[in-house]
Amino acid sequence: MTVAQKLEKASGIFFFTGFLLSKLQYIPFPLAAAAFRFISLGVYLLAYLSWLTASVLHPDHREHHLKWYGFAQIKEQFMLSSFIGFTATIISVAAVFLPALLPPAAWLFLLGNIIWTIGEIHKLKNPPQPHDKSSYSRQEAYVSYAITSSVMTLVTAASATLIFLFPPAAIPITIFSLIICTGMGALAFEFWLKSTFSDLTQDEINDSYAQMGDSLGPSDSLELTEAPEPGYWKSLNWRSEKTKNHLSPESSDLLEEQEYQDSQREFGSCCNTPL
């Protein structure tokens, strides 16, 4: 794993930790809420700084300039997104002392997340390295995670703006946005788990089922086997035919005569049974 990949992985951990800590700022204890807010902003600064450094260290990759998402290289899109997010985080720290800066910071976060989502779509459509079905499925899930996160940022930016414009409605707006962000956060977490820990795609699962059916299903060979089949009376008749084939002609005639006498005896006993 390269230094850029390690930094990118570390930034993902920082982002997730900062997201969890940021939700604790809404607890009904002012001092604890303020502490969690400052800690989460510090973690976000580390996340954006790690991501920005990783984007600089990533190798160049020719962009899809004919597509709407190919206005720049993937690394340049991530560099721009991380720089905007880093700037928005600094403004958020200043917004603790000057609340009027909170809406601009929230909209900057949204802009950074939109560029990040475009970069992830670009990475899906124009991968830096050829990848198999499994890695494509993981990247597809990560794009869904990025889109969901951007929607959450949109809700946060809209609620911050409405609270700034209508301070008396701060409590219901905050509760409403928290409910939406909690549901979207759970969905984003599901996408993140799928993109991080999912190794099998549905196509691979279907291939596994097909291989299982080929190995456990009926054989294509015309040769009969000794295993009993659903029509096991037929299997028993086949065993008697196989036995006949191994006997001499005289023995086969005696065996057929014995079977005929047995069948006549069974028929006679059935007819003599009282009704």
Q: Tens digits of per-residue pLDDT, 100-140?
A: 999 999 999 999 999 999 999 999 998 877 655 668 889 99
Q: Once rounded to an integer, what is the mean pLDDT over residues 252-271?
A: 55
What does pTM read for this prediction? 0.70
Check residues 79 and 222 and name the one with the higher pLDDT. 79
Q: Which residue has the higher pLDDT, 184 or 247?
A: 184
In percent, the amount of the chain with pLDDT more than 70 equals 70
Distances (CA, A) of 39 to 13, 14, 32, 33, 87: 15, 11, 10, 10, 17
Residue 54 is predicted with a pLDDT of 93
For 145-170, the DSSP string reads HHHHHHHHHHHHHHHHHHHHH-GGGH
Range scoring the smallest mean pLDDT among 18-32, 93-107, 142-156, 254-268: 254-268
Taking phi over 0 as left and psi of -120 to 50 as alpha, with beta for the rest, 232 belongs to alpha
Phi-psi region of 224 (alpha: psi -120 to 50; beta: other; left: phi over 0): beta
Q: How far apart are the first and last CA of the chain?
A: 86
Are 206 and 156 spatial neighbours (Cβ–Cβ below 8 Å)? Answer: no
Mean pLDDT of 228-242: 41
* Mean pLDDT for the chain overall: 78
In this predicted structure, what is the pLDDT of residue 55? 92
Average of pLDDT values for 145-160?
Answer: 95
Count of beta carbons in the 10 Å neighbourhood of residue 50? 21
Q: What is the dihedral of CA 90, 176, 118, 67, to 10 degrees?
A: -140
Q: pLDDT value at position 266?
A: 52
pLDDT at 229: 39
Task: Choose among 3, 9, 11: nearest CA to 57.
Answer: 3
CB-based contact 195:138 (threshold 8 Å): yes
Nearest to 191 by CA among 140, 255, 129, 242: 140
pLDDT category of residue 217 using cuts at 50, 70 and 90 = very low
pLDDT for the residue numbered 22: 85
Do 169 and 162 touch, CB atoms closer than 8 A? yes
At residue 12, the pLDDT reads: 86
What is the rounded average pLDDT of the residues 264-268?
Answer: 52
Phi, psi of 131 (to 5 degrees): -125, 160
Indicate whether 192 pLDDT > 90. no
Q: Is the pLDDT of residue 167 over 80?
A: yes
- Does residue 231 carry a pLDDT above 50? no
Q: Which residue has the higher pLDDT, 47 or 209?
A: 47
Is the pLDDT confidence value at 165 over 70? yes
Residues in the chain: 275
Provide the pLDDT confidence category of residue 204 given band limits of 50, 70 and 90. very low
What CA–CA distances, in Å, run from 229 to 39, 212, 235? 69, 19, 7
- Asked if the model's pLDDT at residue 154 lies above 90, the reply is yes
Predicted local distance difference test score (pLDDT) of residue 131:
59
- 30-56 mean pLDDT: 92
